[in-house]
Amino acid sequence: MSKPGMQTKKRLLVLLGAYTFLTFLLIIRVGWIQFVQGSELQRLAYEQQSRSRIISPRRGTIYDRNGIALAVSASVDTISAFPKELQDSGADLEAVAEKLAELLDMSKEEVLAKISKNSPYEYIKRKVEPEVGAKVRAWLQEAKIVGITVDEDTKRYYPKRNLASHVLGCVGTDNQGLEGIEKAMEQYLKGLPGRILSEVDAKGRQIPFNRERHIDPQDGYNVVLTIDETIQYLAEKAIEKAIVDNKVLKGAVAIVMDPNNGEVLAMASKPDFDPNSPFRPLHIDDATWNSMSMEERENAIYSTWRNKALADTYEPGSTFKAITASAGLEEGVITPESRVNDFTVTVGGHRINCWKPNAHGEESFAQGLQMSCNPVFVRVAQDLGIDRFYKYMRAFGFYDKTGIELPEADIIIHKRPTEIDMAVASFGQRFKVTPLHMVTAYCAIANGGTLIRPHLVKEITDNEGNVIKKFEPEIVRQVISKKTSDTMRKLLQDVVTLGTGSRAYVPGYRVAGKTGTSETETSDIDGRYVASFMAFAPADNPRIVVLVALDHPDVYPHTGGIIAAPVAGKLVEDILSYLQEERVYTEKDRKKLAEDVYVPDVRGKTLKEAESILREAGFEYRIEGDATNKDITVKEQTPKPETAIPRKSTIVLYTYKPDENDMVVVPDLLNKTVDEAVAILKGLGLNIKVNGEGRAYRQNYQQGSRIPRGGLVEVFFMDPDEADLE
Amino acid sequence: MATKTTATKKPFDFWIFITILILLSMGIVMLFSASAPAAYTYKNDIYHFLKDQLLFAFVGFIAMFVAMNFHYKKLAKLAPILLVICMVLLILVLVPSIGYEANNARRWLRIGRFTVQPSEMAKLALILFLSSSLSRRKDQLQYFFRGLLPYLVVIGMVAGLIVVEPHLSATIIILIVSSIILFCAGAKIRHFVIMAVPAVAGLGIVVAMNEYMQKRLFSFINPWSDLKGDGWQAVQSLYAIGSGGLFGRGLGKSLQKFLYIPEPYNDFIFSILAEELGFIGVVTVMLLFLVLVWRGVKVAMNAPDTFGCLVAVGITSLITVQVLLNIAVVTSSIPPTGVSLPFFSSGGTSLLFFMTEIGILLNISKYSKYERI
């Protein structure tokens, strides 16, 4: 065998060179892929390798001003499937569906359809209670099921149900704010979502040994409202009752505001909804709901979502006279003592009369306000002239939105007003503003003349209680002078004390206010009026401004003074006593209070004792049963103890346990005078409480109802003229 | 170079031995890492591929030690017989009842639960035959018909039997390695050029007529054009390499091995290596192979005779060409063809023969004319 020659050795070196060259060429190629194309390739690879699930952040809590939670987020679980992974694991889909259906209270078919799908990810059931989630987790572990996960989620709860529902609003399935503060404060409440990242193989199954990476969600901030839960509750109950009492067809609104800082203490609007289930209106029963079409349902849902306090407009009617009066006083065209008359005034061919037939004749301006005489205000407006009158309308904020946190309706107001426009506007007709506009304007009248932006949010806090952001009262402008404001407070208090607002009178609380009744010209159904009452109290140092407005009351009379004023008065009384405002009684108040006496408890006493107690307290009495033996025990009495009834009422004492038969049928007292009503009820053995004077227009027990002998019937009287439009 | 020449026995080349130990160790670790997800998914045993590889590595070591101590000169006489046996086996593979078919190719013979590729053996047999014959008839190579043509016929026969299996990559490797042996033996450059003309033309005609090859070529040029089809492997391989960066994800932490790369323990194991060990790992492995090339060529240079020289260069080239082709394929540098990575890819026969070949190389190194460094 020959030895390798020089040529071979040269060629071997060439070969070594070639191999080395190619090796380095490939090293460069790998380097190119890893460093030049690396990030892009890595991104593309990551896209196919990773799967991410969102963890909802905990939405912030909404509190009332005293820290009572109105909207909270609770931890719940969401059950979802990775159908491919589940199918590939060879699990018995039928069995899995059956077990899941049982645990989640779903139909087996529904679950089976979801887990049999050819999709990478499916929700099986969202937002189940944590206990249910725990059960599913335990079962997954025990049965070694892969491809089904239980993830943390949060659910919005409104512990007070429909309370303040329009203010709070509601959230959708992804916890996003849909309405109200939930929507308006979304940026603070929502927080930042977290993620669960996991890596998967080419079949979409989670890679074993690789742990899921959690990116923690960031909780949302809390919103502290200016709303006071108790005042809100009182306001809602007040209008709920008013709706029933006055057969109100289109709902009602009540707003309570602190005039000194623009904080809204209550904003109630009916009909309302339960934000826990916002898509099912509360006021519709199941049978009706089931028979409704999708469109009807949608309309019903949106009508319950409407916040009438600011999403609807109305003609303010006579409540607006306070604005005309303020402008007139401020500009000096009128004083409270100015002599005016309310004879018919003709503007542009239209005759404008006082609501009272034959008018009140010559009176002071203060009386004109008390009696709500339209011609008086037309003349004030005419004295001001269009420019000055509308300057005040603008100053009071009627041409702008109030600037509250929630979306407001567009106002309908004259762009280029004429004489007749101004004439009717002077008493609040033919333009439309929101109820909140009126409250805001009254706040300016009540607080010394400053227009303040109304607001619902006091501050934003984090979970440690730190204040993230504080919303200070925002002064818009000075509208009228302190002096004019002081005058107006006195004038409006007189409206309640002496005028059409008498039914809002609350002994000791110096309620000021103005009635309003307006006709809604677009509506053709029954009761096409809005009866309203604007109040503030105490008149010398106002703490609250209250508006109650009833939309379409299907009763007669339907004026604000008769049906809205008592609601507003009662509401003012409840709120101020909750706020522990001290009552300052006038001499007249004391006298009136003394007329009512609480019924003493004489049950279990002998007749002899009972008689002397009652006589001493100024009551009359009648004995039912054996009255011969004065030592016999009183078994029962009507009215029951602790009822406040007028002095000289008759207490019925029973010496036996009265049965159902001793009942009296209540008669119809409509249009009876006070004397007639007293006589009729006395004759039947019933007691009477008289409210107002004139002729009866309402009684607390309806005609035909049966009450125990000796029971107290409350009857309301009025001057027949009052029933007409103001 | 006036050093005294000697053909007496010396210790084997330590560099080659150590390099092979390191490469094989890395290979087995990488194979375990790359194969575990697929082994778990399809065989329900993450050690499935590791067990086979360890078994063949063990048998391979025995084969290497046997070959190391088997005087290489005896192989010269055995070469023609070995080649004939290989031809018979290659024919047997093609017989439907005997050859084991997988993926539309008949490449294997079954022995118990294992399969054997006669083509692996044919590579070695052809190297031995060419080296032995050329060492005797080297001077004839300057003549085309008398010298070169008979070798081309033999090479053509072996290659022909393998290409009809079909096993294109093995055919290409055999052609390249044979050409290198002819080149080193002293074949005329002119003859290579003359052969290249019909070869290129022939290849052009084959590609023009073969739709399958066209598709492969097309998917090589733009693998993203058919991501879910032919381009899948190439793209997934690039994702793996690209995800590696400088230091890699870390050993065992590849994501692409989770069934994104089909059979990541076979031809594409280098991509997983690049993903887990990064550029550092890639350079390390390639430099180790380069050490092997350097020492292999050195063994050839210092071989006491032309047979030893040609066998050494043949074996070195067989390994190197496969390494280069494999890395070129997984980096999408050439059209895809199924070449495994020596000492890394799973595959019993292939590992057994590589170890045997290294044994032969080490044996030749014992007879080096020069002192070891």
The sign of the dihedral angle between the CA atoms of B307, B308, B312, B315 is: positive
The position carrying tokens 């050690």 is B47
User: How close are the terminal C-alpha atoms of chain B, in Å?
Assistant: 16
Give residues 27 to 66 of B whose Cβ lies within 8 Å of A.
37, 40-41
Q: Is residue B174 part of a domain?
A: yes
Asked if A22's CB is within 8 angstroms of B258's CB, the reply is: no
Question: What is the predicted pLDDT for the residue at A660?
Answer: 65
Asked if B183's CB is within 8 angstroms of A23's CB, the reply is: no
Estimate to the nearest angstrom the gap between the alpha carbon of A585 and the chain centroid.
32
Shortest CB distance from A16 goes to which of B41, B246, B294?
B294
Give residues 257 to 316 of B whose Cβ lies within 8 Å of A.
258-260, 274, 278-279, 282-283, 286, 289-290, 293-294, 297, 300-301, 303-307, 309-310, 313
Domain boundaries, chain A: 52-225, 317-584, 593-723
Q: Is residue B373 part of a domain?
A: no
* Distance from C-alpha of A246 to C-alpha of A249, rounded to nearest angstrom: 9
* Distance from C-alpha of A59 to C-alpha of B294, rounded to nearest angstrom: 68
CA-nearest residue to B247 within chain A is A34
Asked if B324's CB is within 8 angstroms of A38's CB, the reply is: no
Q: How many CB atoms lie within 10 A of CB B282?
A: 24
Residues 6 or more apart whose Cβ sits within 8 Å of residue A534? A319, A322, A438, A439, A442, A513, A514, A516, A545, A546, A547, A568
SS3 A468: strand
CB A29 within 8 A of CB A190: no
Asked if A3's CB is within 8 angstroms of B304's CB, the reply is: yes
For A645-661, write each residue's pLDDT tens digit. Answer: 887 788 888 888 777 66
Question: What is the predicted pLDDT for the residue at B231?
Answer: 77
Q: Looking at CA atoms only, how far is residue B247 from chain A in angstroms?
A: 10
CB A367 within 8 A of CB A358: no
Question: What is the predicted pLDDT for the residue at A642?
Answer: 74
Q: Which residues of B touch A33 (CB under 8 A)?
A: 238, 241-242, 274, 331
Question: What is the predicted pLDDT for the residue at A212?
Answer: 72
Q: How many CB pairs under 8 A join A and B?
A: 143
Asked if A19's CB is within 8 angstroms of B324's CB, the reply is: yes
Asked if B313's CB is within 8 angstroms of A23's CB, the reply is: no
Question: Superfamily for A52-225?
Answer: Penicillin-binding protein 2a (Domain 2) (3.90.1310.10)
Q: Looking at CA atoms only, how far is residue A119 from chain B in angstroms?
A: 18
Question: What is the predicted pLDDT for the residue at A523?
Answer: 55
Q: Does residue B1 have a pLDDT over 60? A: no
Question: What is the predicted pLDDT for the residue at B373?
Answer: 40
Can you point out the beta strands (E) in A181-281? 194-199, 213-215, 222-225, 252-257, 264-270
Work out the mean pLDDT of chain B and round it to a whole number. Answer: 87
Asked if B76's CB is within 8 angstroms of A45's CB, the reply is: no
Selection from A268, A227, A249 nearest residue A571 by Cα:
A268
Residues 6 or more apart whose Cβ sits within 8 Å of residue A96? A86, A111, A115, A145, A148
Q: Is residue B2 part of a domain?
A: no
CATH topology of domain A593-723: Trypsin Inhibitor V; Chain A (3.30.10)
Give residues 142 to 181 of B whose Cβ lies within 8 Å of A.
180
Q: Which residues of A touch B290 (CB under 8 A)?
A: 19-20, 23
Q: Is residue B4 part of a domain?
A: no
Note whether B11 contacts A: Cβ–Cβ < 8 A: no
Q: Is residue B95 part of a domain?
A: yes
Question: What is the predicted pLDDT for the residue at A548?
Answer: 95
CB A633 within 8 A of CB A655: yes
CA-nearest residue to A199 within chain B is B255
* Distance from C-alpha of B360 to C-alpha of B341, rounded to nearest angstrom: 20
The enclosing H or E element of B64 equals helix B48-68
> Beta strands A644-646 and A596-598: pairing type?
antiparallel
Q: Looking at CA atoms only, how far is residue B113 from chain A in angstroms?
A: 28
For B197-214, write each residue's pLDDT tens digit. Answer: 888 888 788 777 777 777
CA-nearest residue to A22 within chain B is B324
φ/ψ (deg, to 5) at A624: -100, 130
Question: What is the predicted pLDDT for the residue at B226?
Answer: 66
The position carrying tokens 């009717």 is A424
Residues 6 or more apart whose Cβ sits within 8 Å of residue B202? none
Question: What single string gives the DSSP state of each residue in A425-454?
Answer: HTTT-S-BB-HHHHHHHHHHHHTTSEEE--
The enclosing H or E element of A156 equals strand A148-157
CB A227 within 8 A of CB A187: no
Gyration radius of chain B's alpha carbons: 21
Q: Looking at CA atoms only, how far is residue B155 from chain A in angstroms?
A: 21
SS3 A214: strand
Asked if B241's CB is within 8 angstroms of A30's CB, the reply is: yes
Which DSSP letter does residue B80 get? Answer: H
| B111 burial via Cβ count (<10 Å: 0-12, 13-18, 19+) | exposed
Residues 6 or more apart whose Cβ sits within 8 Å of residue A306? A166, A269, A312
Residues B57-80 have a mean pLDDT of: 93
**B330 lies in which domain range?**
14-365
Selection from B299, B346, B337 nearest residue B54 by Cα:
B346
The total number of residues shown for chain B amounts to 373
Q: Is residue B342 part of a domain?
A: yes
For A490-506, write each residue's pLDDT tens digit. Answer: 999 999 998 888 888 99
Residues B157-177 have a mean pLDDT of: 89
Which DSSP letter does residue A60 get? Answer: P
Low-confidence ranges of chain A (pLDDT < 70): 1-3, 204, 209-211, 521-527, 660-661, 721-726
Token duo for residue B332: 């999408």
User: How close are the terminal C-alpha atoms of chain A, in Å?
Assistant: 135
Q: How confident is the model at residue B228 (pLDDT cuts 50, 70, 90)?
A: low
For B287-301, write each residue's pLDDT tens digit. Answer: 999 999 999 999 999
Q: Is residue B9 part of a domain?
A: no
Selection from A488, A477, A487, A489 nearest residue A392 by Cα:
A477
Domain count, chain B: 1
Q: How many CA atoms lie within 13 A of A588 on its CB side?
A: 6
Q: Does residue B372 have a pLDDT over 50? A: no
Note whether B256 contacts A: Cβ–Cβ < 8 A: yes
Q: What's the Cα-to-Cα distance from B334 to each of A26, A30, A330, B261, B287, rounded to whole Å?
A: 11, 13, 94, 18, 21
Token duo for residue A137: 């987790």
Note whether B244 contacts A: Cβ–Cβ < 8 A: yes
Token duo for residue A189: 């409440």
Token duo for residue A444: 């300016």
CATH topology of domain A317-584: Beta-lactamase (3.40.710)
Which DSSP letter does residue A691 get? Answer: E
CA-nearest residue to A14 within chain B is B184
Buried b / exposed e over A178-190, threshold 16 CB at 10 Å, is ebbbbbbbbebbb
CB A73 within 8 A of CB A204: no
Token duo for residue A111: 């679950």
Q: Which residues of A touch B364 (CB under 8 A)?
A: none
The position carrying tokens 């002293």 is B186
SS3 A628: coil
Question: What is the predicted pLDDT for the residue at B338?
Answer: 84
Q: What is the ipTM of this complex?
A: 0.93
Asked if B184's CB is within 8 angstroms of A12's CB, the reply is: yes
Q: What's the Cα-to-Cα distance from B293 to each of A417, B157, B168, B283, rounded to whole Å?
A: 101, 28, 25, 15
Buried b / exposed e over A125-164, threshold 16 CB at 10 Å, is bebbeeebbebbbebbeeeebbbbbbebbbbbebebebbb
Provide the percentage of residues in chain B whose pLDDT is more than 70.
95
SS3 A57: coil
Residues A241, A246, A251, A255, Cα dihedral to 10°: -60
Which DSSP letter does residue A67 get? Answer: S
